[in-house]
């Protein structure tokens, strides 16, 4: 009987050690996921602000050259078209409010869904938009950049 006690003790210690390693790995992965989600939320807020401010420089930094920007009416803009419309005032967001935002990160890709309520002044014509938006972000060089956006009317 006494021969079994050291074997049981060793097996028990090995299981505790492996469990501790597993908990450490899962905690590290969870913290990394939370960090990425926070960074994507920050990039989304920067995009919101850059759209309201029509900030060409900020938009250039946030958007990938391959941007596909889908409007709720079906038109799709390239990066250049989107920035030009905001900069010229033909598309003018006076305010943008984002609600019910959900972020999902998978590796170097993140999906953001939210409700967007905005006041607009497109070409001098005031209006409001209420949209459901899907954003696709890609991590490049340690920064999150917008690859695609699609909106539908609520």
CB pairs under 8 A, 24+ apart, for 127-135?
129/72, 129/153, 130/154, 131/72, 135/44, 135/47, 135/111
Task: Assess if CATH 3.10.450.50 describes domain 38-153.
Answer: yes
The residue ranges of every structural domain in the chain are: 38-153
Burial class (CB in 10 A: 0-12, 13-18, 19+), 8: exposed
What average pLDDT does this structure show over 68-84?
A: 97
Beta bridge partners, 40, equal none
Q: Is the pLDDT of residue 3 over 80?
A: no
The 10s digit of each residue's pLDDT in 77-115 is 999 999 999 999 999 999 999 999 999 999 999 999 999
């Amino acid at each position: 009987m006494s021969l079994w006690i050291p074997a049981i003790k060793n097996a028990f210690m090995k299981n505790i050690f492996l469990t501790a390693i597993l908990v450490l790995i899962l905690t590290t992965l969870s913290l990394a996921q939370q960090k990425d989600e926070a960074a994507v939320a920050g990039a989304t807020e920067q995009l919101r602000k850059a759209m309201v401010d029509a900030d060409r420089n900020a938009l250039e930094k946030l958007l990938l050259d391959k941007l596909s920007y889908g409007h709720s009416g079906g038109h799709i803009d390239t990066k250049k078209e989107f920035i030009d419309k905001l900069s010229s005032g033909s598309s003018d967001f006076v305010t943008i409010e984002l609600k019910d935002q959900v972020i999902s990160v998978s590796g170097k890709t993140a999906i953001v869904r939210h409700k967007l309520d905005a006041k607009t002044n497109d070409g001098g014509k005031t209006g409001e938009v209420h949209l459901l938006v899907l954003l696709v972000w890609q991590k490049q060089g340690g920064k999150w950049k917008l690859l695609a956006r699609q909106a539908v009317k609520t």
